[in-house]
Structures are given as structure tokens and as C-alpha cells.
Amino acid sequence: MTAPPPTPDLASLRAEIDRIDAAMHDLLMERGRIIDRLIAVKKTSASGSAFRPGREASMMRMIAERHAGILPLDTVEGIWRVIIATFTYVQAPFAVHADISGGDPPMRDSARFHFGFTVPYRPHPSAAAVIAAVAASRGDLGIFRLDQGVTAGPWWESLSGEGRPKVIARLPFIERPGHPAGTPVFVVARPLDDPSAAQRDWVLYAARFERWHDGARAVLAEAGAEVVASAGAGGGLSQLVAVPGSVAPAVFRDDLARAGAPAAALDEIGSHAARFRV
């Protein structure tokens, strides 16, 4: 009869934890050395040019899908966000500008959870101020809540036009009840050097209508689109509309016109990955 294996004592278990901690630190340092080589290969000297929202969204989804055990997903996501954001900052330093018109604590929590404490945090009084700061920077990021409220006006229209900042992500990448940084926010940046780095599951449009027709609601529903925000503008209606990336803008425009709500303007202002819920 085979004897049962001896029960490890407390000192042995602590030694195992120390071994794992040292191995994790070694891996982080190894990751740093690889990033150092990556910097030399990519020559990412421009601030912010290392940010890859599509890749980050895929990585976070993969982590959530494979995670198991007693360690909370909140902790795992937070650790990975700090690792990813900090190494991105090391490649090309950037700051995060935040609209705190709806309160500083949730925005600060979002910035610190998703980008860590190494990346500088810059508060601003409005989404418009955040967009202006990002536009004036070499490559900073901006974050602001989706629910800006009526008084904010059609802030999304300031993202229209070539060379203007664009939405590149929606956070959090992983949505779940009780998320420690669960306030839904858009991330804006100057246009990415590599367009393939963007994730286009959802495409955002600044739509201007001279008149609105209830038939347009059916068009939006059929396309699977969502009106994120609305505001009066210039005697008409301005809307921020999220449309599935599979819907061609020309088709969407034609369908609105046939429904009796032709768009006087339909400008793409960014895109983001599909929301992943657990």
C-alpha cells in the first residue's frame, strides 16, 4: 500500500510562494527587455504611438475567458491593465486627460484602474476641454463619460474632421456588475499612425438632422444601432450614433433618408471593440 504524500508544512508553502513571486518578477523584467528591443525595432519616439486598443481589448477578453481559481477577476484585470499601460507608457510617454464635470472620483478610479499610477492624470472641466487637450498634445489620451447630459451640448461634433481626435476605445473592456472602475467611458486620441490598430466592432458617427422622423427609429433598430447621446444644434438635432462595423455608412445613410430622416451630416468620429460581459 502506497503511503500518502507528506503534508507540506507552512515554511514549505511560503517557500513555494517566494519562488513564484521571484519567477513573476523575472518574467516582468524579461518583458521589459523585450519591450526595449521593440522600441528599437519600431522606433516609437512619438508620445502615445504605442497604444493599440484593438490588441488590448483582445488580450483582456482572452484573460477573462481563461481565468479560474480563487483570485478575483477584478484583481487579475487590474494587474494586467497596470502591466499593459505601464509598458505602453515606457514605449512612448503619454498623459490621460479626464472630464470631471460629473465628479472626479469615478474618472480618477477609471484612469488609475485602466492606466495605472505611472501615467500622469490631468483633470478637466468638460469633454470639450479634454478633446482640446488631446488635440494639442503629441499623443495623450482623453477619457469622458458617455452620459454627458444635455448641458454638455453636442461635444461629439468636435471630433469630426480629418486630423481631429477620435474615439479609439470604450472602457471597461470587461463589463460586469460591481466592476471597481465600471463607469462607461470613451477613450479619445489623435488618429492612430496604424489604422489597423483600431477595433471596428462598433463605429461611431456624429449625425446632424434638420428634421427627425419616427421611422428612423426602425432603421436604427434594424441596423442594431444605438443612439448614445442627443442634443439640439443649429435649429436641428445632433446625435452620437453607434453602428455595428458591418453596416456600410452609405447604406445606413440611404436607409435614414428613405425613413424620412435624411442626415445633413454623417461623420465617422471613431470606433471601439464590442462590449464583453461576464
Summarize pLDDT for 159-169 with one digit per residue, the tens.
999 999 999 99
184 shares a domain with 54: yes
* % pLDDT > 90, the chain: 67
* % pLDDT > 70, the chain: 95
120 shares a domain with 247: no
Question: How far is it, in rounded angstroms, from Cα 51 to Cα 189?
Answer: 9
Secondary element (H or E) of residue 232: strand 226-233
Domain, as residue range, for 46? 25-197
User: Does the pLDDT value for residue 47 go beyond 90?
Assistant: no
Q: What DSSP designation does 5 have?
A: P
219 shares a domain with 116: no
Q: Give a yes or no: residue 183 inside a domain.
A: yes
pLDDT in tens, 222-271: 999 999 998 888 778 899 999 999 999 999 999 999 888 888 889 999 99
SS3 state of residue 85? helix
Q: Give a yes or no: residue 17 inside a domain.
A: no
Q: Which of 181, 197, 213 is the last residue of a domain?
A: 197
Instruction: Report pTM.
Output: 0.89
End-to-end CA distance of the chain: 46
Phi, psi of 61 (to 5 degrees): -65, -45
Question: How far is it, in rounded angstroms, from Cα 135 to Cα 128?
Answer: 11
Q: Give a yes or no: residue 112 inside a domain.
A: yes
Query: Mean per-residue pLDDT for 6-24?
Result: 91
Q: Which of 158, 178, 197 is the last residue of a domain?
A: 197
216 shares a domain with 137: no
Say which residues have a Cβ less than 8 Å from residue 220's Cβ, sequence separation at least 6: 226, 227, 241
Q: Give a yes or no: residue 56 inside a domain.
A: yes
72 shares a domain with 207: no
